[in-house]
Structures are given as structure tokens and as C-alpha cells.
A = this chain, B = another copy of it.
Amino acid sequence: MTQENKKAVVLLSGGLDSATTLAIARNEGFGLFALTCLYGQRHQREIESAKKIGRSLGVLEHRLINIDLAGFGGSALTDSDIEVPKDGFDLGDSTRIPPTYVPARNTIFLSFALAWAEVLGVFDIFIGVNTTDYSGYPDCRAEFITAFEKLANLATAAAVEGKGKYKINTPIIDMTKAQIILEGTKLGVDYSLTHSCYDPDQKGRSCGRCDSCRIRLKGFEQAGLKDSIEYVK
């Protein structure tokens, strides 16, 4: 594949990490196929963000697919009986896995990215996993990504027939939130389009108190930049 038609499937959630990952892939010269997996999140706010980010970074195509995870439950993000933790349940505690963990989420997301990549004839997949802030999520670690990459190259006709070798790219895996924000800002990411809050109000304003908000706010503070999204408090 020549440099001119390098293409990648990029998982895009509408959050800060995946928006930055998309911008990094673009900067590396990839034509972008964005994939947003909808999995019964409590809010549609993130989806709108994903669409705007995709447009702003010039994706070639953006697919949104429904994933039936809410039926399984087991997470504060898919099960309304489990409360989203506020005011620092797990920040900085790498020994506990937070209730916002969604069972097998990244395994499922990467499986769909792989399916689409195979149909497109694309061998690069980007995912914005990051271990610095959320060390508790098992499916954000490098060893998980390596295992998935190995699986991808055994699972697919395209790999087995020798058409290419799948690579799972994780450009922000070792960055701090501040580094991610600085990198994205340099690459032209408009963070006002992104959404991070686990528990926004009805107007879509971020709560400022859930883990995701707190990590975001701390990241902007450490980067010396202003976060221009709207918060409740």
C-alpha cells in the first residue's frame, strides 16, 4: 500500500482521548474511517460529539453501530441500577476496578473495528486507550492490545491469505491527560466538541464531579489550558 492511500479504522467515542487519537492518525497520513459503537450509554450527548469531531477532522466515512450491551448489565455505564461514582471513587487507586468498567467492552469494540477493517481492506486500527489515568481497566493495557493484535492476525481471512498484517495502534496509551490535550491542541482538535462526563444533566452539561470530569479538568489544568465545555457547577 502506497503512502497516498494509507487508511485506518479509528474507534471514536466522542471523548477527548479518541478525538486526539483520530487527529494523530490523520497527522500520520491515514485516510480515516471512524467507527462509533453505541452500547446503551445513558446519554446521547457523546454520540453527537463523535459526529461533530468526525466531521471536523475530515473522516472519509463515519459508521455508528448499535451494540447490545445494556441487556447484559454489570456496569454503571449500561445498567441504571448501578450508580455512577462521584467525588473520587477510584482516582489514583490503581488496585480497584471502578464500577464504570463495562465487561469486555474494548474486546467487542476492537472486534467490530476488525470486521470493518477486513471488509475495507484496511490493516491499521486505532484505539484511544490510555493507562495513565485509568490503570484499573484491564482492557486498556498494552498486553491486552498485543493479545488482540495477535488474535486479529489469526482470526481473519485477509491476514491468513497474506493480504496484510493487522496493527492495533495506541498512540496515547502512555500519555498523561495533560500530554494528550497538548498533543491534540497542536494537531487542531477542537476540544469544545468533545464530551467526557458520565452523568450529564438534561441540557447535556457536564457534572464536573464524576471520575471522567475530574480527570478531564485536572488534565486541562496541568496543560495550562482552559476547558471550554459547559459544566453544571
* Chain A residues packing against B (C-beta within 8 Å): 63, 65-69, 71-74, 97, 101, 103-108, 111-112, 114-116, 118-119, 138-139, 141, 143-144, 147-148, 150-152, 154-157, 159-161
Contact = CB atoms under 8 A, between A and B. Distances in A.
Interface of A is mostly: helix
Contact of A144 (B69, B108, B151): B151
In the complex, which of the residues A115, A141, A147 has the most CB atoms of chain B within 10 Å of its own CB atom?
A115
A147 B150 contact: yes
Nearest to A35: B72
Contacts of A154: 138-139, 141, 143-144, 147
B71 A63 contact: yes
A58 B108 CA distance: 28
A74 B141 contact: no
Contact of A147 (B65, B115, B147, B161): B147
A118 B75 CA distance: 11
